[in-house]
Amino acid sequence: MAETSPRDKYGGVWLIFFMLGLGTLLPWNFFMTATVYFTSRLKDPSLAVLSANLTEEPETRSLLESKFNNVMTLCAMLPLLIFTCLNSFLLSLVSQRVRVNGSLIIIMVVFMVTAVMVKVPLEPLPFFSVTMVKIVIINSFGAVLQGSLFGMAALLPATYTTPIMSGQGLAGTFAAFAMICAIASGSELNDAAFGYFITACVVIFLSVLSYVMLPKLEFFQFYQNKNRELSSGEENSVKLMNSDSKSEPADQNRQDVSMVKIFKKIWRFAVLVCFCFTVTIGTFPAITADTKSTLSDGGTWERYFIPVSCFLLFNLCDWTGRSLTAVCSWPGKDSPLLPLFIISRTLLVPLFMLCNVQPRLNLPVYFQHDGWFIGFMVVFAFSNGYLASLCMCFGPKNVLPHEAETAGSIMAFFLSLGLALGAAVSFITRAIV
């Protein structure tokens, strides 16, 4: 008789996975949303004195300022791609506890260092270099944390992937909201940034505590023990099979063929999700974060324009698009409209370029009013969340049930590849403006 699964009391495991999901993308979103603070530390002293508020900028930007968003995105997405590939090897070499707790603690230490550095004066070049090293670290360990977290969720009922996605989807919104609160506090730039990064430290610390509590919950223990029993049985079976050495080359050959066959079944969705994120990261935040409001000159709206219209709006609309796929799957996986919609998103890139992006060298400003930028952002973010999520859902559904896990890994790789390619493309798109 099969052992009955215990109940997840008070949704404790669900909430912990939500908190851990929040912790995976929160670090990157906090760094990305704080670009105004970082670029203010990169001003050339010969051009301007460091601003005392969150929006004031000199008329001429230094090279480090102008390239910050591009380099930041590249330093984030390349380690994400590399460590997503390496994570499959780490699963067998490093224990789950070390991977999850170690990653969270290292990320928390990076944020503590970032908060302390707010009060430490540094020349622009050393500050730029240290910041990029920190971005590489948090995204490397963030990739390990994310892979480990989805591996843990795979041991539980299928619905426990949802809180991870929910937490990740809200990470950007939380970061943007925290920045808006920092601005609303009326504090000077450094004080607001210090409070902002301390907030991130607190949230990550809560994620560490959540993971410490997880093994003590009966619901999680049940599925962990069940997995150990299955793994032990499989290990004994493998030992028996390996006694016939002649079968190994054939088994390996079948595995290789299987991987190729799976990719052939899902290649269209893999390429589409890669292209979708290439367009998104090639534009956001490299171009969008440099857009200036035309409705006021140094007023309240100008202070809130980028945190609200760029970061908060993008994350809210992106999350809405992702959530909608739970109840709506149009267009279907075989519909020609799906690739058409994803390819048509490239039209939004020149539209953003023709908004009031500053500084600019080549293109004119055609869409002067802030309403144009906000309208483009709503369509851009919602389509990213909705269409990318459709592709991520359709990919594993296009293969046999026992191939779904491998298909999901392939899709995750192409998603990371799209992020990395988008980071490289952002240099080109920003230079064109």
The reported pLDDT for the residue numbered 167 is 79
Contact (Cβ atoms closer than 8 angstroms) between residue 395 and residue 270: yes
Chain segment 14-46, per-residue pLDDT in tens: 899 888 888 888 888 888 888 888 888 888 766
pLDDT at 263 over 60: yes
| Banded model confidence at residue 58, pLDDT cuts 50, 70, 90 | very low
Does residue 244 carry a pLDDT above 70?
no
Which span out of 5-14, 17-26, 224-233, 310-319 was modeled with the highest average pLDDT?
A: 310-319
Instruction: Please state which of the ranges 41-55, 179-193, 386-400 shows the lowest mean pLDDT.
Output: 41-55
What phi and psi, each to the nearest 5 degrees, are found at residue 8? -80, 90
pLDDT, greater one: 96 or 385: 385
Amino acid letter, residue 343: I
Separation of alpha carbons 325 and 2, rounded Å = 34
Torsion of CA 410, 411, 413, 419, to 10 degrees: 160
What digits encode the pLDDT tens for the residues 338-379?
999 999 999 999 999 999 998 888 999 999 999 999 999 999
Residue 162 reports pLDDT greater than 80: no
Predicted pLDDT at 233: 57
Res 395: pLDDT:
82
Out of 41-55, 147-161, 209-223, give the one with best mean pLDDT: 209-223
Q: Which pLDDT score, from 0 to 100, does residue 227 have?
A: 65
Alpha helices in 94-217, H assignment, sequence order: 96-117, 124-153, 162-184, 189-213
Q: What is the pLDDT of residue 182?
A: 78
State the average pLDDT for the chain: 82
- As a whole number, mean pLDDT of residues 396-425 equals 79
The predicted pLDDT at position 73 comes to 85
Position 1 pLDDT exceeds 70: no
Which is nearest to 315 in space by CA: 163, 166, 171, 200? 171
Q: Which has the closest alpha carbon to 79: 33, 143, 132, 26?
A: 143
Verify cis geometry, omega within 30 degrees of 0, for the bond prior to 331: yes
State both tokens at 198. Answer: 């301390």
Query: What per-residue string of b and e applies to 300-337 under the rule 16 or more CB within 10 Å gives b?
Result: eebbbbbbbbbbbbbbbbbbebbbbbeeeeeeebeeee
Which residues neighbour 184 within 8 Å (Cβ) at sequence distance 6 or greater?
none
Tell me: pLDDT of 230 over 80. no
Q: In whole angstroms, give the CA distance from residue 256 to residue 254.
A: 5
What the chain holds in terms of domains, given with CATH numbers, is 13-220 (1.20.1250), 258-433 (1.20.1250)
33 vs 275: which has the higher pLDDT: 275
- pLDDT exceeds 50 at position 257: no
pLDDT digits (tens, 9 = 90+) for 385-409: 899 888 887 887 787 766 766 677 7
- In whole angstroms, give the CA distance from residue 46 to residue 43: 9
